């Protein structure tokens, strides 16, 4: 079953995956199962159409969207997907039919400490608050904010206090986080070196992989709190 199943077709594609095989995330075989869009498939069939647009995904797509997944289980599978297919946040979002912030929020929480993990495990709907709280690097301040949030302090109040803490921290250090800025500069220089090496030649696979890896690192560093104004340089280079 290739990219389409012959003639006019519904506007929305049908999402399918290969027939399951135990412990296998890869696309194998010629039989597919509809994961999303079965009403469109039935309507096309009733209309006598012999071709409909499809998008082929694997079992991992279905597992990530399974309603019984915890936030952390979902995030772990998204990380696996990104590493397996060498995807950026945007690439993973496109693959999963989600928005980039949806992916980034889960990755931020996954990278956070055990206190943030416990918060989302007990309160799955606190994902946005957990993401913002993960930006607070002072353990005592973060613990106090988490306790207040659990006691029912509104999220808007918590978010305002986080913003105040970040502003005060930046002011006390005299500007952007110097360690992050240094990492950004190193990554930008590496990217520029690769671009210069392939300026007038077709892009070999090894260079393509290297560029992708560096771009992913840039996204990770840019999204860290304290990246500062220097992140604008990295965004322009990555584009």
Looking at the structure, tell me whether residues 228 and 204 fall in a common domain. yes
- Do the domain assignments include residue 7? no
Looking at the structure, tell me whether residues 32 and 53 fall in a common domain. yes
Q: What proportion of the chain, given as a percentage, has pLDDT over 70? A: 60
pLDDT given for residue 239 in this prediction: 39
Looking at the structure, tell me whether residues 54 and 98 fall in a common domain. no
How many Cα atoms occupy the beta-carbon half-sphere of 179 within 13 Å? 3
Looking at the structure, tell me whether residues 97 and 25 fall in a common domain. no
Q: pTM for the full model?
A: 0.57
Res. 16: pLDDT tops 60: yes
pLDDT tens digits, 181-191: 556 556 656 66
Among 120, 143, 173, where does a domain finish? 173
Looking at the structure, tell me whether residues 154 and 138 fall in a common domain. yes
Q: Predicted confidence band at 233 (pLDDT cuts at 50, 70, 90)?
A: very low
pLDDT tens digits, 113-138: 999 999 999 998 889 899 999 999 99
- Do the domain assignments include residue 1? no
Looking at the structure, tell me whether residues 101 and 167 fall in a common domain. yes
Question: Vertex 225, ends 147 and 149: CA angle to 5°?
Answer: 15
Looking at the structure, tell me whether residues 184 and 167 fall in a common domain. no
pLDDT given for residue 125 in this prediction: 87
Residue 40 is part of which domain span? Answer: 14-58
Count the Cβ atoms, other than its own, within 10 Å of residue 95: 20
pLDDT given for residue 182 in this prediction: 57
- Do the domain assignments include residue 74? yes
- Do the domain assignments include residue 6? no
In total, the chain counts a number of residues equal to 239
**Burial label, 165 (beta-carbon count in 10 A; 0-12, 13-18, 19+):** middle
Sequence-separated contacts (24+) of 219-224 with Cβ below 8 Å? 219/88, 219/89, 221/180, 221/183, 221/184, 221/187, 222/184, 223/104, 223/108, 224/177, 224/180
Among 148, 173, 198, where does a domain finish? 173
- Do the domain assignments include residue 166? yes
Nearest alpha-carbon partner for 115 in 99, 93, 138, 97: 138
β-bridge partners, 56:
16
- Domain harbouring 81, CATH code: 1.10.10
pLDDT tens digits, 81-99: 999 999 999 999 988 888 8
């Amino acid at each position: 079953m290739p990219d389409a199943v012959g003639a006019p077709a519904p506007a929305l594609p049908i999402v399918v995956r290969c027939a399951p095989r135990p412990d296998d995330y890869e696309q194998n075989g010629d039989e597919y199962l509809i994961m999303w869009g079965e009403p469109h498939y039935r309507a096309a069939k009733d209309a006598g159409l012999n071709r409909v647009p499809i998008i082929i995904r694997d079992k991992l797509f279905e597992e990530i969207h399974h309603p019984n997944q915890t936030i952390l289980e979902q995030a772990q599978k998204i990380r696996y997907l990104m590493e397996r297919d060498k995807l950026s946040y945007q690439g993973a979002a496109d693959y999963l039919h989600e928005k980039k912030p949806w992916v980034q929020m889960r990755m931020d929480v996954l990278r956070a400490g055990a206190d943030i993990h416990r918060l989302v495990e007990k309160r799955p709907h606190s994902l946005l608050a957990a993401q913002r709280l993960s930006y607070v690097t002072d353990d005592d301040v973060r613990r106090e904010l988490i306790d207040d949030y659990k006691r029912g302090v509104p999220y808007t109040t918590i978010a305002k206090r986080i913003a105040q803490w970040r502003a005060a921290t930046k002011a006390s250090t005299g500007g952007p986080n110097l360690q992050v800025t240094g990492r950004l500069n190193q990554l930008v220089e590496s990217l520029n070196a690769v671009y210069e090496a392939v300026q007038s030649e077709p892009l070999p696979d090894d260079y393509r992989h290297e560029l992708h890896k560096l771009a992913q690192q840039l996204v990770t560093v840019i999204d860290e709190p304290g990246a500062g104004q220097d992140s604008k340089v990295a965004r322009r280079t990555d584009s």
